Amino acid sequence: MARKWLLLCSSLLLIMLMLPVAAFAAETPAVSILVSNDQPALEENIQVTVKAEQVTDLYAFELSLYYDPAQLEFQEGSEKTELKGFAVPVKQSEAGGHHLIFAHTKTGTTASVNGSAELVTFTFAAKKAANAVITLKDVKLLDSGLHQIAAAAVSANITIAGGGGGGGSVPSPSPSPSTDTDVVDVISSQLANATGSTVVVQLPESATKVRLPYNAFELLGSKQLEVNAGEMKLLVPSSLFKQLEGKVPAEQLKDSAIILKIETLVKSQADALLALIASESKAGVKAGGDIYEFNLYLQTKDGGMHELKDFNEAMTIHIAAGSGIDSKLSNIYYVAENGKLEFVGGEHTGGQMKAQISHFSKYALLEINKSFADVKADFWAASVIKELAAKQIVTGTGDITFEPLRSVTRAEFTSLLVRALKLTETGTSTFADVKGTEWYAADINMAVKAGLIQGRSAAVFAPNEKITREELAVLVLRAFELQSGTTASGGVAGTFKDAAQISVWAGADVSKAVELGLLQGRTKDQFVPKGISNRAEAAQVIYNLLFKV
C-alpha cells in the first residue's frame, strides 16, 4: 500500500509540475540559499537550506541544487523539510552538471504556504580544500490552482579550509550576503586564499552581477579574476580594481563594493542591433553568439556609482564561436549604440575567439560579409579584400565600390599600415606638406613615431603622390620588422630581369621583402620597381604581412 501511495503521489507531482506557467501572485516569489557555515574545515558537515519568500498559496515545488561532488559530499537521506505533505526522495543527476533533484507536494486538505518558508535542508560534508559554489536553479513553484512560476536561480559560495595556500588572508570587510537574486558575492577569503593565477567565478544564468570587496586589488595581488558566464569568459587583471579605487575618496572606500555587470541582450534587442549594424556597415551581418554588455563600477554606501570605462591594462575576453559562421570573416567587435562597429579582432582557438579589450560597453562576435559591386567573386584579390574589409583595414571608395585597380597614394598606404599594425602612439613630423587638418596627418605622424616612414626628404613626404612598387616594398618591410621585432635578410632581387632599374636605396629592402613573401614580381621575371601600386595589390601586401609571413 505504501508503495502504491508513493507512486501515486510521485505521478501527481510530476503532472502538476509539467503544467503551463501562469502568474503566481502580485509579488514575484524568490528563493535563496542559506549556508550554516560558509568557511568549514575539512570533513565538517554543512547544512544548506533552500528558502522561499513572497509566495502565495504554495502547494508544490521542485528544485535542482548543483555542486561539485569532489568538493562537497551529499549525505544520503539527509534531506529534511518541515512542510507537511509528501516528498519525493532525492535523486542525483549528472545531466548538465552534478546536482540533486528534490520535489514536494501538499496532500489532501493540508494548508498551502503563504509568505516565506524553508523548503528543504540538505547536509553536505566538506571533502576538498576549495572555493565551492552551490547553485540553485530549475526551481518550479505551484499553487493549489495548478498554476506554475519559475523562480530565478541563485548561488552561494563556500570556502573550505585549506583551499587557499600561498599566504594568509588580508583582513578586510566582505560584502554582506546578497539578497538580490541577480548578484554573486565573492568574499574576501576567496580572493586572498585562492591558489593559482586566477580566481574563478561562475555566473549562473539568472545572475548578471559579480560583487567584490572594494580592496579586491590588495586581496588578489598578481592574480586575475576569471568570470564565466554561459559561453563567454572574461579575465580581469587586478590592476583595474586599483584603478577603480582612485575614483572614490579614501573615507568612502570602506563602505563601497566593486560591481562587474555582465548582461546578455535578449533576442529582440540583439536582432534590432544587428539590423542597425547591417544598415550602418552596408554588409551582411551574422552573430556568432550572444551580444554582451559590460559595466565595471564602484558602488558607495549611498548608492553612488563610479564607473570605469577605459582601462590602463586590457581585459581578455573569450567568446564561443558558433559553427555557422566563417572564421575568416568573423571577429570580435565593440558595438556602439548607433550600430557603428569598432574592430577588436581576436584569435580563433579551441572553438572560441579570444581578444584584448580596453574599454567597456557592448561586444559581440560577428561575421561581417562586405561585398563590392566592382569586385567580382572570381577576381584574384576578392577573398583578401573581403577579409580585410571585415577587419576594417580596407574600406571602399563608396558604399558598394572598391575600385581595385585604382592607384594608391603614399598617404593611403601609410594609413593602411597604421590600421593593420593597430598603431596608437601619436607623434609629430617635420613634413611641410603634411598639414594637421588633412585626413592622413594623424596616421602619418603615428607612422613617423613608429619609425615606419622617413619621407622623400626631411621636409617632404609627398602624401598625395602615387606610391611605387619599390616604395611599397620598403614600407612593408619596415612594418614586418616592427611587428616581428627581427631584422630581415634576403638577396633575390637580382633574379628579376629588371633588377638594375630598382633604386639603390631600395634594392636591399626589395630583395628582403620578396624573399619573405611580402610581395612578388608583376611577372615571374619582372619586378617593375617604378610601377604604380593599385588598391588590390596594396590589399594583398597587407594581407601577406598579417597572415602569411
Asked if the structure places residue 241 within a domain, the reply is: yes
Lowest mean pLDDT among 154-163, 365-374, 380-389: 154-163
Q: Report the C-alpha gap between 460 and 469 in whole angstroms.
A: 19
Count up the domains in the chain and report the number: 3
**Is the pLDDT score of 418 beyond 50?**
yes
Q: State the pLDDT confidence band at 195, using cuts at 50, 70 and 90.
A: confident
Residue 167 has pLDDT above 50, yes or no: no
Q: pLDDT (tens digit, 9 = 90+) per residue, 25-39?
A: 445 678 889 999 888
Q: Is the same domain home to 20 and 93?
A: yes
124 and 256 both lie in a single domain: no
Q: Do the domain assignments include residue 309?
A: yes
How confident is the model over 443-464, as pLDDT tens digits? 999 999 999 988 888 899 999 9
CATH number for the domain spanning 239: value is: 2.60.220
Write down the pLDDT at residue 180.
Answer: 58
Model confidence at 219, pLDDT cuts 50, 70, 90, reads very high
Give the span between the Cα atoms of 495 and 527, in whole angstroms.
Answer: 9
Instruction: With beta carbons less than 8 A apart as the criterion, state whether 528 and 473 touch.
Output: no
Average pLDDT over residues 145-173: 59
CATH classification at residue 44: 2.60.40.680
First-last CA distance in the chain:
78
Q: Are residues 432 and 286 in the same domain?
A: no
Residue 171 lies in a domain: no
Q: Are residues 30 and 109 in the same domain?
A: yes
CA pair distance 186, 174, nearest whole angstrom? 8
For residue 107, what pLDDT band results from cuts at 50, 70 and 90?
Answer: confident
Predicted confidence (pLDDT) at residue 57 exceeds the cutoff of 90: no
Of 457, 449, 444, 384, nearest to 417 by C-alpha is 444
Provide the residue range defining the domain that includes 538: 382-548
The proportion of the chain whose per-residue pLDDT surpasses 70, expressed as a percent, equals: 89
Same domain, 282 and 234: yes
- Local confidence band at 24 (pLDDT 50, 70, 90 cut-offs): very low
Length of the chain: 549
Query: What integer best gives the mean pLDDT of the chain?
Result: 87
Element (H, E) at 407: none
Residue 377 included in any domain = no
Q: What is the mean pLDDT of residues 216-234?
A: 93
Helix or strand holding residue 547 (H, E): none
Which amino acid, 110?
T
